[in-house]
Chain A
Amino acid sequence: MKKLDLRVKDYPELAISWETTLINKTGTWRTFYPKYLSKTPPCNYYCPANENIQKYIALSLKGEFEEAYLTILEKNPFPSITGRVCYHPCETGCNRGKFDESIAIHTIERFIGDYGLNFVEPKRRIEKLTNDKKVAIIGSGPSGLSCAYYLLSNGVKVTILEREEYPGGILFYGIPSYRLPKEIVKREVEKLIKRGAKFIFGKELGKDFSLDDLTKEYDAVFLAIGAQIEQELGVPNEEAKGVLMGLEFLKTINLKRKIKDFGKNVLVIGGGNTAIDCARTALRKGAKVKILYRRTKEEMPAVKEEVEEAIKEGIEIIFLTAPVRVIKDKKGKVKGLECVKMKLSEEVDETGRRKPIPIKDSNFVIKCDTIIKAIGERVDLNILPKEIISKRTILADEFGKTNIEKVFAGGDCVTGPKTVVEAIAYGRRAAAFILHYLKNYELPPKEIFNLVDYENLNTYYFEKQKRIEESKLPVNKRKRNFKEIIATLSDQDIKYEAGRCFSCGVCNKCDNCYVFCPDLAILKKNGEYEILYDYCKGCGVCAHECPRNVISMFFEEEK
């Protein structure tokens, strides 16, 4: 209280108040102050395409599926594809996984993708932007298609040169239809055609045209040739009849052609998605199938659900076993594979996994009449100029820039065999850079990540809820057909699952901060929260009770 000029006559007869505490600005008390600071949920963080997953899930919860679809399209043009084949690191990182079960983001993306194809794309007005630039894209796999989409959306004229007769790359030729129906691939590609993409099929780089040809004709060239050369086993008799290459095998099946030398007793070697795809495809072709993998189940790079389904379908996986020698009969046909048992050493290889080493004298033979090799792929570097290649891949930065002017590259041909979503992400980054290069468009700003861990959440306000279950064809209905196994769920199911999302790091107006403030320093006006810094004492209750770590406390600097 300041020195007062109040005299006896100025006072009331007794000690009765005449002022409210509003003149007492208790904000001066605090050492820390709260601030609403949106942070990065792990789903957004771990998604290789950095989709704003939290946002489209929040939109799905409200039933705004079109908005959700457009949100995904900002980072990934093909949610119907990734919603089917992605290995969903978002779900692995999902904080809800540590509470009860992670959100079925994959399932939601699939729904939104299909919703987009069915309801949004047909009525979507495509702005006919055009500018004078034209870009050639070599390869119509996920990376090429993604790059094309983003260039087309900004009016660039795009020509895609594909050496096969159908577009899609691994999406069409590699992934089997029970996982990714051809119809879906077709409809996704249609998005590009609607936007004016030109396709040239049957023309191959190095055979029908060279890189120089393209750089002369186009303003920029994007290499998206993927990694298609399959690794050899490096064992004797590998050339025997009945020893097939995995991708080659899948391509034949996907083109509905007959496979040479395909028997009834198939052994697939490898642990990645290609191996699983080969195994399950072989099963559907009537064979009895086994998989051979040199490490354990935990180390298999294939998507976990795929491995589980393979086992459910009756495929036996033999772990910690490696091939030694193909055994062929007098006609030169495969009749078995000599294997050796492996154990995991303490040494770790470049993938961070323990190196398997053979156990001495543990050799044995597995009888089989077909062996499918699916142990990895590499990039065909022979068709590329020396300046832009390294020992194994094309040299390019994260935006696809290479050492050759006008030439860009992305996807598996730069990273080595990786996943569809990473290829899509690369295509988009390259498109952004190409637009910057050609038209001086601003590069997208570097995203700053402020990751929300499970420990940062206040899970008191959440109740355990069962995760939605995917609708799957029962195993007995899958025999001998390539019908899609997983069906898209209903919008009620999607809304339910979206309701389970914690919305880590992003405010969803749960009101906790407003409800719990003992100093009434958080007001709610027109649905927005306002912190009254004049009165906030910095107790931190709001930050602590925010279930999703949106409010952060900062130290008051000495003023």
Chain B
Amino acid sequence: MKEGLIYGKKKVVTGNHAVSYGVLLSRAEVIAAYPITPQTQIVELLSEFCASGLLKAKFIKVESEHSAMAACVGAAAAGCRTFTATSAHGLALMHEMLHWAVGGRLPIVLANVNRAMGPGWSVWTDQNDSLSQRDVGFVQFYCESNQEVLDTTIQAFKIAETCLIPVMLVLDAFVLSHTSEPVDIPYQEDVDKFLPPYKPKYFLDINDPRAFGGLTSPDHYYEIRYKIEEAHRKALKVSEEVDNEFYQIFGRKYGLVESYQCEDAKLILVTSGTITGTARQVIDEERSKGKRVGLLKIRLFRPSPIPQIKEILTKAERVAVIDRNISFGHSGIFCQEIKSILYNEIRKPMIFGFVIGLGGRDVVPDDIREIIDFAYKADYPEEMVYFRGVRL
């Protein structure tokens, strides 16, 4: 693959390959990944990049996802820019090491293809896998389009390395991962300008031998943990700065959240991932019919963009959160997040929580329309969660 063929051009690529291009442009140094549907194309293309010499990186062919993250931990601790990708059960298997990456303050970038958890086996899109890892401390970005996937991959490395927190970018299985869209592939030199080589603050150095991660007593642990919280708060600001900087160079920005037609909205839909794309279309239609509806896309899930969410949603009368996930015995997770953010506000909207599309069940415009109708008219959200699209 010659340089001239890919850089600075518009290419029709799948979501998975968009990730691969993002990683290539970011000049990752060590990649360790284990195949799992529907992530495989990410690492297959990266394998080719490494084999052809286009990407000067070491590709470790690990034997499990737990080991994939462990290998990344080792490589990052030694001072390298590292990347891995996985999905569903792979992410679940990585769980222990996700904690290690966070506690170890390693700027690893992980691409997770949102896929439903078995049994029964499912390869289709669902948010439960990434949201089950909500509390480990990874920064989480939910992407709507392949362009966003590629751009977020590049931004992820910069945010991770600035704040020393690992970053997870999430894309929907098949709807994004295997769907081709036209994508602008940036020039390498522009990316180099935006993302300089990784200069680690802490790394395994034989000239300054230290122990990383030793037994930490209650006298110290709390302070060190607090520093991670500080880093998350920093990440909130840094994500915005990085997004603006990206815009300066590449002309594209996404924001931590995106507010669409929310200015005078009575009802605001809250979505994430590809449902956002479907929702935009329906919002336009409903607006033309006279309904005052708007859309809030949550792009940065962790750290929570609390000020932005508060600012936009407190102006509305009603909020309908659409979750493609369920926390059993409670409600959809994005809905819980929104409710907890708005609870103490003096002016807060009624919040309706909807769960839809589990296990990759298609979410069509009619589904969104029905949600809007319901939430627009209902007196009060009597249920914690409203399931839509399931054959009760």
Contact = CB atoms under 8 A, between A and B. Distances in A.
Chains A and B in contact, CB within 8 Å: yes
Interface of A: 1, 3-4, 6-8, 11-18
A13 B223 contact: no
Interface string B227-243: 10011000000000000
Contact of A16 (B212, B219, B230, B231): B212
B391 interface: no
A13 B202 CA distance: 9
Nearest to A6: B223
B223 A15 contact: no
A129 B224 CA distance: 81
Contact of A11 (B104, B211, B227): B227
B211 A16 contact: yes
Contacts of A13: 105, 164, 201-202, 227, 231
Interface residues of B, number: 22
Contacts, number: 51
A15 B220 contact: yes
Closest 5 CB pairs of A and B: A17-B211, A14-B105, A17-B210, A8-B223, A15-B216
B210 A15 contact: no
Contacts of B213: 14-16
B214 interface: yes
A26 to B, nearest CB: 16
Contact of B214 (A3, A6, A8, A15): A15
B217 interface: yes
Contacts of A18: 210
Nearest to B229: A8
A24 to B, nearest CB: 13
A8 B230 contact: yes
Nearest to B226: A8
Contacts of A12: 202
Contacts of B210: 16-18
A1 B218 CA distance: 10
B103 interface: yes
Nearest to B165: A13
Contacts of A6: 220, 223
Q: Which of A3, A12, A14 has the most CB of B within 10 A?
A: A14
B104 A14 contact: yes
Contacts of A7: 223
Contacts of B224: 11, 14-15
B283 to A, nearest CB: 42
Given A1-B219, A4-B219, A12-B202, A17 B214 contact: yes
A13 B104 CA distance: 9
A12 B223 CA distance: 10
Contacts of B105: 13-14
Nearest to B105: A14
Contacts of B214: 15, 17
Contact of B202 (A1, A3, A8, A16): A16
Contacts of B221: 15
Contacts of A14: 103-105, 164, 202, 212-213, 224, 227
A558 to B, nearest CB: 29
A11 B222 CA distance: 11
A471 to B, nearest CB: 61
B220 A11 contact: yes
A8 B231 CA distance: 12
Contacts of B230: 8
A13 B103 CA distance: 9
A17 B211 CA distance: 5
A29 to B, nearest CB: 18
Nearest to B209: A17
A18 B212 CA distance: 10
28 contacts: A1-B219, A3-B219, A4-B219, A6-B223, A8-B223, A8-B226, A8-B227, A11-B220, A11-B224, A13-B164, A13-B201, A13-B202, A13-B227, A14-B104, A14-B202, A14-B212, A14-B213, A14-B227, A15-B212, A15-B213, A15-B216, A15-B221, A15-B224, A16-B202, A16-B210, A16-B211, A17-B210, A17-B211
A417 B103 CA distance: 87
A16 B164 CA distance: 14
Interface string B83-117: 00000000000000000000111000000000000
Interface string B250-285: 000000000000000000000000000000000000
Interface string B358-376: 0000000000000000000
A8 B222 CA distance: 9
A11 B202 contact: no
